[in-house]
Amino acid sequence: MKKILITGAAGFLGSHLCDRFIKDGFHVIGMDNLITGRLNNIEHLFKLEQFEFYHHDVSKFIHIPGKLDYILHFASPASPIDYLKIPIQTLKVGSLGIHNCLGLAKAKGARLLIASTSEVYGDPSVHPQPEEYWGNVNPVGPRGVYDEAKRFQEAITMAYHTFHGLETRIVRIFNTYGPRMRLNDGRVLPAFIGQALRGEDLTIFGDGSQTRSFCYVDDLVEGIVRLLNSDYALPMNIGNPDEITISQFAEEIIKLTGTSQKVIYKDLPIDDPKQRRPEITKAREILNWEPKINREEGLKRTYAYFKKLSTAELIATEHNNFDKFIIK
């Protein structure tokens, strides 16, 4: 049985990856320090012999007994509100955390895949973003702690690949959504759906003309599995190129939820990218991958998950307000 370590296992993406690799017959070791991850996301796996969980911070030395075939490094805060609340941990997991994962991969002869991000492109001046674009990142802005950690993570991963001959893969993940997103993580989809469910107005930051391209989580997971199994070591974009403005997105959520609330406008956070759409020719050609689930279907599935949450959970997770974090 192949053995895989998934860091950030209790998070949104980590938990879906655990499910996928369990389904594919792997022995899965999930690791998480539970700062932003939640055990509810993986509690259904605890009864399985195929699954183990380590409550551990990957920024500290990692010890795994026995053999290990693969490592997926998905531990990291991953929303602007989290970077503002826990900037140092964000930097540490993307630097010390990856260094520990690389050392472990080298010691075990394991193949390592790291979660990188479209944030390496910053507020992009090239559109859509191909892998060759080097980006436009503000290192000292509020997103710098995440963007630069992820850029460093790519650099050190490539260095282990070229210098030590380690088998490495780098996925650049664009905006992804689906069940198990945290209602209060500040991201636009849980923000809008949470607001609709609580009967609040939907908060658009800026004038709503900024664009994003949303990928359903199952499509992303399929892309990651294909990349892991490929022999491609350079960064690979995985995302859905279907691009919309945030205003259009708010309209779609209003229609989906049937809320009678309206949209209200708030200040645009600093360094908020104006446009984002993945160029996915490489994924199409090398992995024979493209997204299959359109937004209508993906949003329906995601809404079904959020609707099941209790009123207590909805109130406890009131939408985070950026105002108190933003230095104007």
If one asks whether residue 191 binds ligand UDP (CB under 6 A), the answer comes out as yes
The verdict on 187 binding ligand UDP (CB under 6 A) reads: yes
- The answer to whether 291 and 140 have CB atoms below 8 angstroms apart is no
Q: Give me Rg for the CA atoms of the chain.
A: 19
Q: What are phi and psi of 112, to 5 degrees?
A: -115, 130
Q: Is residue 53 helix, strand or coil?
A: strand
Q: Which stretch binds ligand UDP (CB under 6 A): 85-93, 148-156, 181-189, 300-308?
A: 181-189
**Can you tell me which of 33, 59, 168, 210 binds ligand UDP, judged by CB under 6 A?**
210
The correct pick among 114, 149, 204, 220 for binding ligand UDP (CB under 6 A) is 204
Q: Which of 11, 14, 77, 80 binds ligand UDP (CB under 6 A)?
A: 80
Residues 271-300 that bind ligand UDP (CB under 6 A): 272
| Annotation says 146 is catalytic | yes
- CB-based burial label for 225 (10 Å; 0-12, 13-18, 19+): middle
Q: Taking the complex as a whole, how short is the minimal distance between the CB of residue 212 and ligand UDP, in angstroms?
A: 5
Write the single-letter amino acid at 317: T
Please, what is the minimum distance in Å from the beta carbon of residue 188 to ligand UDP? 3
DSSP secondary structure letters along 198-219: HT--EEEETTS--EEE-EEHHH
- Asked if 54 and 31 touch (Cβ cutoff 8 Å), the reply is yes
Number of residues that bind ligand UDP (CB under 6 A): 15
Catalytic residue (one of 83, 146, 177, 216): 146
149 HSE (CA, 13 A, CB side): 28
Q: Which positions are annotated as active-site residues?
A: 146
Which spans of this chain sit near ligand UDP (rule: CB under 6 A)?
79-80, 175, 186-188, 191, 203-205, 210, 212, 246, 269, 272
